[in-house]
Amino acid sequence: MAEPARQLDVIDARPAFTQADADALNARFEGVDALTMLKTVFAEGLAGKVAVVSSFGTESAVLLDLVARADRNIPVIFVDTLKMFAETLNYRDTLIARLGFTDSRSVTPDRDVLMQKDETGLRWSYDPDGCCDIRKVEPMNRAKQGLDAWISGRKAFQSTTRQNMPRFEIEDGRLKINPLGDWAKEDLEAYFEEHDLPRHPLEAQGYLSVGCEPCTSKVLPGEDPRAGRWRGWDKVECGIHSPVTPIPAPVADPDDPANQPVF
């Protein structure tokens, strides 16, 4: 009697999604509202193992409310750089409780890496790209391990580096979903009002885009909404979404304490 053919152990290293998958999803959901899209994606398992990533910034409540209405069991991931505003941490807790999420996760920088590369905690002041890499990018990469897809709150209007944004795109073999990519600022404001969502407590003070405390300043009239991030540096992204691309910035008022370095 012949022995059965030997079975080889093969590791499937293929990406969870390809550009063809993203193209098909973009075509299927063209013109479909964000909430219906999310409900369908979750109900049909179109994104596999998925989570929503939130900075709990000034516009985050809209995406989180949409995700919660579609499925409150979707994990919510927050990267705590250990340089966040206390107001942001409180806002996170407020929104998670208000929207009823059942799986809230926080990821922080590796302590050993911080001791090796940012022992003083001042790397942001001379190497913001390096600081973002160890405090945001690396923790985010760890948080995404095991995920097939993740949901981003990016909007095309936020800066020149975010234009022409598809709803579905591929990043490192994962599906990246941008439900609000084509929303305008007016759409967000209307949603806040319609659903009576709480605002980030720093927004009323002129912080239109809130990141880490040392690298966030108030936005001046007429500026890009993200101009208050990394003011004085040719930098508009932390590295989680795209490479650094400089944008022109108006001259800030040097006497405004919000535009002074924080040590």
> Mind telling me the catalytic residues?
238
Q: How far is CA 152 from CA 4, 83, 155, 171, in A?
A: 49, 21, 9, 12
Contacts of 11 (CB under 8 A, 6+ apart): none
Cα–Cα distance measured from residue 89 to residue 66, given in angstroms and rounded to the nearest whole number: 21
Establish how many alpha carbons lie within 13 A of residue 114's alpha carbon, considering only the half-sphere containing its beta carbon: 15
CB 22 within 8 A of CB 140: no
Between β-strands 76-79 and 104-107, what pairing exists: parallel, antiparallel or unpaired? parallel
Q: Which residue has the tokens 């940012």?
A: 118
Cα–Cα distance measured from residue 168 to residue 172, given in angstroms and rounded to the nearest whole number: 13
Binding site per annotation, positions: 131-132, 212, 215
CB 106 within 8 A of CB 80: yes
One DSSP character per residue, 99-112 reads HT-S-EEEE---HH
Amino acid identity, residue 143?
Answer: A
Cα–Cα distance measured from residue 205 to residue 133, given in angstroms and rounded to the nearest whole number: 28
Binding site per annotation, positions for [4Fe-4S] cluster: 131-132, 212, 215
Q: How far is CA 33 from CA 29, 180, 209, 230, in A?
A: 8, 10, 25, 33
